[in-house]
Amino acid sequence: MEKIAFIGVGVMGKPMVLNLANAGYDVTIYTRTKSKVQDLLDQGITWKDTVCECIQNQDIIMTMVGYPQDVEDIYFGQNGIIKNAKKGAILIDFTTSSPKLAKRIYENAKENQLESLDAPVSGGDIGAKNATLSIMVGGDKQTFQKVKRILDTLGSSLYVGTAGMGQHTKMANQIVIAGTIAGVSEAIHYAEVHQLDMNILMQCITKGAASSWQLEHNGQAMIDGQFQPGFYIKHFIKDMKIAKEEMDNQKLPVLNTVLQMYQSLQEDDLGTQALIHYFKENS
pTM comes to 0.95
Query: Are 91 and 28 members of one domain?
Result: yes
User: Average pLDDT, whole number, for the chain?
Assistant: 96
Query: Are 130 and 203 members of one domain?
Result: no
Query: Are 263 and 135 members of one domain?
Result: no
Return all residues near 273 (Cβ < 8 A) that are at least 6 apart: 181, 185, 218, 219, 221, 222, 226, 227
- From 49, 112, 42, select the one nearest 84 (Cα to Cα): 112
Instruction: Give per-residue pLDDT as tens, 169-182.
Output: 999 999 999 999 99
- From 106, 147, 115, 131, select the one nearest 2 (Cα to Cα): 147
Largest CA distance in the chain: 63
DSSP state of 28: E
Query: Are 225 and 139 members of one domain?
Result: no
d(CA 266, CA 170): 25
Query: Are 181 and 121 members of one domain?
Result: no
Checking if the pLDDT of 248 tops 90, the result is: no
Query: Are 180 and 112 members of one domain?
Result: no
Query: Are 9 and 149 members of one domain?
Result: yes
Pick from 162, 194, 212: which residue ends a domain? 162
Query: Are 18 and 138 members of one domain?
Result: yes
Active site residues: 170
d(CA 30, CA 34): 8
Instruction: Give per-residue pLDDT as tens, 100-145.
Output: 999 999 999 999 999 999 999 999 999 999 999 999 999 999 999 9
Return all residues near 163 (Cβ < 8 A) that are at least 6 apart: 102, 103, 105, 106, 107, 116, 118, 138, 139, 140
pLDDT of residue 167: 98
Cβ atoms of 278 and 264 closer than 8 Å: yes
CATH number at 200 reads: 1.10.1040.10
